[in-house]
């Protein structure tokens, strides 16, 4: 029996969608018809379909995958076979439309595929390193333990990502409001105010004249500027998606920016240490683990250097020497790795190194926000003061002329 995903209309004419089990699409349609459902489309569950837009399908995001790994691990520890454990989760309402992807994986497992292979044949939501860890867990017979560690790792990575997003919310709002105020005041409000003063034959102060000169050009210049920025961002993102060398060069630039490089380096080292610790703890071979950990950092440059490091490992170099050749990771991480190789506790020392980089990252975020917020507030305050003076000075001149 296979699971099929359908979309159609029930007997009352309302749109509906869901899952049904059958031997083939024809039998699935017959079963649906017996239930009073007119199937518009029937296809295998989890099958990728990019030809049509399906707003009613959810992505299997990090949160859903974390819940999946944690609950499957718990059910396996309770003694359920893997297919039965997935069957229990498919009926769970928390997964929503993600049940479709899970049903496709369950069907492949019923056909004899390992979990890692079933995930690899899914719709592309599972990263290569997740598949590698699960494959090792299946080979070692400790799948439930590996799934628990993988869920914990994904939660930690998600927390790091959320910290970055939260840290950028306030500066983004302040900068956006400042730009809007700047354009509206200089491009609209100040020129209209100057026209009123010109009708009263008031001599404009030098500051007001300067603001008016800027305001005269602010609207056309702003339009051209935003069009150029939009085109530049579009070109940049397209090149990042299609050109691997461009992606590496752009990522390498981040490690050279004065205000970004220290924080970004700490983040990359954190991700690398945590990922490699997880992979080694799950039994992934060292050569494959180094390559996967490099890709898991999110840095295209580090990922490419890690591939070279994996080749160096194959030719007899130690892990510490291979990591030392990866420039963004060469500061202190090789020392931790060398100590771990010497003591035989590489996994524990990588975890400790990850904790150290986590603390370093948190301090940098706190300090950066502590400096950035007052700087932005001061800049916006100075701009408002400038605009206020450019408006009030002519008013004061008008009052003096009337007295």
pTM of the model: 0.66
Q: For a pLDDT cut of 70, what percent of the chain falls above it?
A: 87
- Cα-based distances in Å from 151 to 42, 133, 136, 274: 33, 11, 15, 13
Kindly give the residue spans of alpha helices, DSSP state H, lying in 35-189.
62-77, 82-90, 99-110, 115-120, 128-140, 143-184
Q: How far apart are CA 126 and CA 63, in angstroms?
A: 12
Please state the rounded mean pLDDT for residues 238-247.
84
Distance separating alpha carbons of residues 388 and 239, to the nearest angstrom: 44
CA 134 – CA 143 distance, rounded (Å): 7
Domain 62-154 fold? Receptor-associated Protein (1.20.81)
* Bridge partners, 2 (sequence order): 22
d(CA 354, CA 274): 5
The mean pLDDT of the chain is 80
- Token pair recorded at residue 312: 């160096």
Q: 101, 25, 22, 27: which is closest to 64 by C-alpha?
A: 101
With residue 254 as reference, give the H or E element that holds it: helix 244-254
User: Of 55-64, 110-119, 279-288, 358-367, which gets the smallest average pLDDT?
Assistant: 55-64
Span 58-96, pLDDT tens digits:
457 788 888 888 888 898 888 888 888 888 887 776 666
Q: Looking at the predicted structure, is the pLDDT value of residue 110 above 50?
A: yes
């Amino acid at each position: 029996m296979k699971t099929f995903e359908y979309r159609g209309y029930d007997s009352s004419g309302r749109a509906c969608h869901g899952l049904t089990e059958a031997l083939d699409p024809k039998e699935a349609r017959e079963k649906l018809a017996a239930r009073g459902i007119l199937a518009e489309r029937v296809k295998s569950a989890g099958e990728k379909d990019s030809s049509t837009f399906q707003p009613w399908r959810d992505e299997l995001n990090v949160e859903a995958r974390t819940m999946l790994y944690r609950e499957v691990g718990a059910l396996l520890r309770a003694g359920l076979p893997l297919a039965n454990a997935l069957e229990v989760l498919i009926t769970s309402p928390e997964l929503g439309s993600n049940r479709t992807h899970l049903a496709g994986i369950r069907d492949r497992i019923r056909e004899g595929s390992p979990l890692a292979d079933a995930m690899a044949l899914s719709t592309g939501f599972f990263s290569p390193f997740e598949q590698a860890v699960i494959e090792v867990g299946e080979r070692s017979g400790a799948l439930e333990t590996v799934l628990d560690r993988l869920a914990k790792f994904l939660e930690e990575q998600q927390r790091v990502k959320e910290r970055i997003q939260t840290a950028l919310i306030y500066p983004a709002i302040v900068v956006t409001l400042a730009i809007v105020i700047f354009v509206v005041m200089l491009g609209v409000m100040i020129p209209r105010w100057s026209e009123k003063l010109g009708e009263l034959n008031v001599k404009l102060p030098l500051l007001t004249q300067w603001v008016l000169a800027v305001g005269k050009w602010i609207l056309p210049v702003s339009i051209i500027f935003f069009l150029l920025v939009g085109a530049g961002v579009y070109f940049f993102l397209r090149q990042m998606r299609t050109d691997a060398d461009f992606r590496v060069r752009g990522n390498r630039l981040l490690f050279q920016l004065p205000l970004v490089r220290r924080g970004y380096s700490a983040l990359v080292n954190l991700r690398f240490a945590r990922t490699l610790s997880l992979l080694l703890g799950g039994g992934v071979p060292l050569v494959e683990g180094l390559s996967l950990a490099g890709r898991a950092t999110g840095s295209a440059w580090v990922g490419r250097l890690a591939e070279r490091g994996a080749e160096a490992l194959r030719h007899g170099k130690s892990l510490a020497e291979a990591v030392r050749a990866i420039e963004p990771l060469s500061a202190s991480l090789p020392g931790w790795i060398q100590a771990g190789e010497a003591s035989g506790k590489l996994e524990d020392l990588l975890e400790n190194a990850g904790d150290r980089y986590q603390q370093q990252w948190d301090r940098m975020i706190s300090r950066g926000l502590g400096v950035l917020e007052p700087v932005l507030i001061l800049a916006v305050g100075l701009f408002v003061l400038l605009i206020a003076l450019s408006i009030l000075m002519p008013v004061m001149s008008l009052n003096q002329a009337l007295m």
